[in-house]
Structure 1
């Protein structure tokens, strides 16, 4: 069992280091539950990179639906996959509402669709159903069964949306290289740039113009989350702390010399660690 948890932790360190860092602020038993949830999310997120056509992705999503069915059935035996077994153990003493876990799977069907989002509102809806739903489940694991206030729920929603959209900007160049367009057509239209400016010319100036309205929208979401963060019980903080890194990412991407295609610009690890420690100590996201 210890080897399984170590493997999931190592995998998360490589695939999702910021969320993994935030788990270090949780008690050990809660931390393991969060790691299992995030490892499950990573499996879902990587499906699009592992398949060559949408039908194969749909089959993988169906497989995970069967896993969740087994986990929520007390009489079923969960298949021997590390992430599946980890999630089963994480939920053994209480599972979050299944509708959230099902939603995390179902929303990933959108990852297999080559059509871009049309509006920023469409993008936010996806972010709410993916990253914000993951955050809701994580908060539940820190406070099993406890009611969260409306303001606390709003903090989770805004933080999750802001984090997902920030991730789309961070992965912009890599996604374009795989013919994936996460940023909506609305952002292209408002910036007055074309897809060709990105895919053919890889114009950093055009990318900065494209990012500008999206960054502004993310900052609004983050401000809303920050204003309501104190309405969540302190025990829930490890489920949201990584959202405290959003301003650092956005500040780097807002620089006049930022090059989205250069593969640089991530805040140093020490800065991210310090930011998260500060957020934990002050209770400010």
Structure 2
């Protein structure tokens, strides 16, 4: 299996909505974004699948070392081998890959966030930085597109948090800011014990509106001249905003279920968005 095939398999197996946004890209950009996505999956899996935090931390140290080898032209892992030709073609800085690992390390160090400011740093590292790297791969002419990519990454991560409240709680993690929980009268114990209430529904509707605000900001910031190049992000936004609509329509039952869209529906949204953009 070649490094590119490894990354393709990693992306396809994940079932992520991101996979559908890559389908219509030219071969070189599709190969690059798939390698970036595979890197993100590898380091994320370290945290999600490793039960021992110390072992997970050691593995992330290895990935930091592997990035050093990558930027010295001597990568060992299939994902970094696939990334090697991408670095110079699209000018991807090492610091941003390291920021992604910083974000993953936050999951090993804390399971609560006191306020949205604290959560924003986490979202920036695990999602906005990925958005900035992706924007380089897709291509842009105006610097304002970087602001679009940053805010779109924030919106995506907030959507992930909303969708995965129950799943995260079962791993002992609560990403919803503590001051938001207090504002809406929702004890952390209700999240951890999957106790749905009217207060919880109102809390989640507030979280959905915050995510929507970032989507609106991002769309307003994207220059018309870069719209076609950035279509993969627009596809993801269309899929994720549809997902938020479904969650809200279901009464925000995210403690007991994980709302998702069918592959055929994602493909339809992707195709429709690509044609319209």
Question: Structures share a fold, TM > 0.5?
Answer: yes
- In 2, the alpha carbon distance for the partners of 1:127 and 1:201 equals 24
* 1:248 matches 2:242: yes
**Alignment of 1:140 onto 2:136:** yes
Q: How many residues align?
A: 276
Cα deviation for residue 84 of structure 1 reads 2.4
Q: Does 1:224 align with 2:221?
A: no
Name the residue aligned to 1:20. 19
Question: 2-side partners of 1:6 and 1:204: how far apart?
Answer: 46
Cα distance between partner residues in 2 of 1:98 and 1:272: 32
**Which residue does 2:231 correspond to in 1?**
237
RMSD: 2.1
Give, in whole Å, the separation in 1 of the partners of 2:163 and 2:260: 8
Instruction: Look up the match of 2:41.
Output: 42
- The Cα offsets for residues 10-47 of structure 1, whole Å up to 9 and x where unpaired, read as 22123252111111121011101110000000111122
Q: Distance in 1 between matches of 2:235 and 2:79?
A: 23
In structure 2, what is the Cα distance between the partners aligned to 1:60 and 1:95?
Answer: 26
Q: Distance in 2 between matches of 1:26 and 1:178?
A: 36
Equivalent pair of 1:5/1:86 in contact (CA under 8 Å): yes
> In 2, Cα distance between the equivalents of 1:245 and 1:259?
19
Contact map agreement 1:204 1:261 (CA 8 A) in 2? no
What SS class does the counterpart of residue 243 from structure 2 fall into? helix
Distance 1:98 1:211 in 2: 36
Is the 2:194–2:256 Cα contact (8 Å) retained in structure 1? no
Distance in 2, matches of 1:41 and 1:195, equals 29
- Counterparts of 1:236 and 1:213 in 2: how far apart (Å)? 28
Say if 2:100 is the partner of 1:107.
Answer: no
The corresponding residue for 2:168 is: 175
State the alpha-carbon separation in 1 of the partners of residues 176 and 10 from structure 2: 28
Instruction: Quote the offset at 1:194 in angstroms.
Output: 0.7
Q: Measure how far apart 1:239 and its partner are.
A: 4.6
State TM-score, norm by structure 2.
Answer: 0.90
Tell me: CA distance 1:247–1:239, structure 2 relative to 1, closer, same or farther (3 Å). Answer: closer
Query: Paired residue for 2:268, among 265, 269, 274?
Result: 274
List per-residue Cα deviations over 1:189-214 (Å, max 9, x = no partner): 12211112122253254542331221
C-alpha contact 1:18 1:242 (8 A) present in aligned 2: yes
- Whether contact under 8 Å (1:104, 1:130) holds in the other structure is yes
State the TM-score, normalizing by the size of structure 1. 0.88
Deviation at 1:90, TM superposition (A): 3.0
1:230 Cα offset (Å): 3.7
* 1:99-144 deviation line (CA, Å, top 9, x unaligned): 211211122211112341111222223212221110111111233x
* Contact residue 215 and residue 250 of structure 1 kept, 8 A: yes
2:257 paired residue number: 263
Cα distance between partner residues in 1 of 2:180 and 2:125: 21
The equivalent residue for 1:69 is 68
Gaps of 5+ in 1: none
What residue in structure 1 maps to residue 59 of structure 2? 60
Matches of 2:15 and 2:261 in 1, distance apart?
A: 15
Call closer, same or farther: CA 1:183–1:44 in 2, change over 3 Å.
Answer: same
In structure 2, the partner of 1:78 is 75
- Give the counterpart of 1:129 among 114, 125, 136: 125
Do the aligned residues in 2 keep the contact of 1:23 with 1:239 (CA within 8 Å)?
no
Q: Aligned partners of 1:258, 1:179: CA distance in 2, in Å?
A: 20
Distance 1:105 1:240, change over 3 A: farther
